[in-house]
Amino acid sequence: MGSVKDYFSGLGSGLVSLIKGMQVTGKEFLTPKVTERYPENRSTMQIPKRFRAILTLKYDAEGRHKCIACGMCQRNCPNGTITIEGKMVDTPDGKKKKKLVDYRYDLGSCTFCQLCVTSCPTGAIEFSNDFEQAVFTRELLVKKLNYLPDVPDPVPAAPVATEPKPESKN
């Protein structure tokens, strides 16, 4: 007799469990979807601006960047992700300055800590939110950030000759 009671008790608790499960399923069925259908939704998807996908060198409209090849970002990177090469050049006004030759960044070893960006004295680098960076070999993750050809520095304007001041009459 006891076994029949156990049978119906088990059946009842099974039904309760089934109803609870169906309640959860029904609730999720009506909840707005959060799963993205990537890549079908590529044209409409929103990536937050602050998302750190890849380090980039900022270029202005004329194709110039602000990197002075000081190496601060390279020294502050905890992973050896950045390699800077620079050289000394003569400026049009006869001075010397360091110029960037090569900026290498290994996306594969970057931990996106942003220490490089915050330590840059000229604000030359930033993170882009372009997350589509998949490649087939690890070597392709090493990027040259100064990919545009160098734009010559503007020639400083010649000093304007000033008229001598007339002597004051006392």
Provide the binding-site residues for ligand SF4, judged by CB under 6 A: 55, 67-73, 76-77, 79, 81-82, 84, 110-116, 120, 122, 124-125
Q: Residue 92 or residue 123: which is nearer to ligand SF4 going by CB?
A: 123
Q: How many CB atoms lie within 10 A of CB 41?
A: 10
Query: Strand locations in 43-161, DSSP E?
Result: 54-57, 82-90, 96-106, 125-128, 142-144
Q: In degrees rounded to 5, what are phi and psi of residue 10?
A: -65, -40
Write down the least CB distance from residue 48 to ligand SF4, Å. 17
One-letter amino acid for residue 1 of the chain: M
Closer to ligand SF4 by Cβ: residue 114 or 128: 114
Tokens 């070597």 sit on residue: 139
Q: Shortest Cβ distance from residue 83 to ligand SF4 (Å)?
A: 10
Q: What's the closest the beta carbon of residue 54 comes to ligand SF4, in angstroms?
A: 10
As measured in angstroms, the least distance from the Cβ of 116 to ligand SF4 is 3
Question: What type of residue is 133?
Answer: Q
Backbone phi and psi for residue 57, each to the nearest 5 degrees, phi listed first: -95, 130
Q: Which is nearer to ligand SF4, 115 or 142 (by Cβ)?
A: 115
Q: Three-class SS of residue 74? A: helix
Within 8 A by CB and 6+ apart from 100, the residues are 65, 67, 68, 69, 84, 85, 86, 146
Of 13 and 122, which has the nearer Cβ to ligand SF4? 122
Q: How far is the CB of 47 from ligand SF4 (least distance, A)?
A: 18
12 vs 123, which CB is nearer to ligand SF4? 123
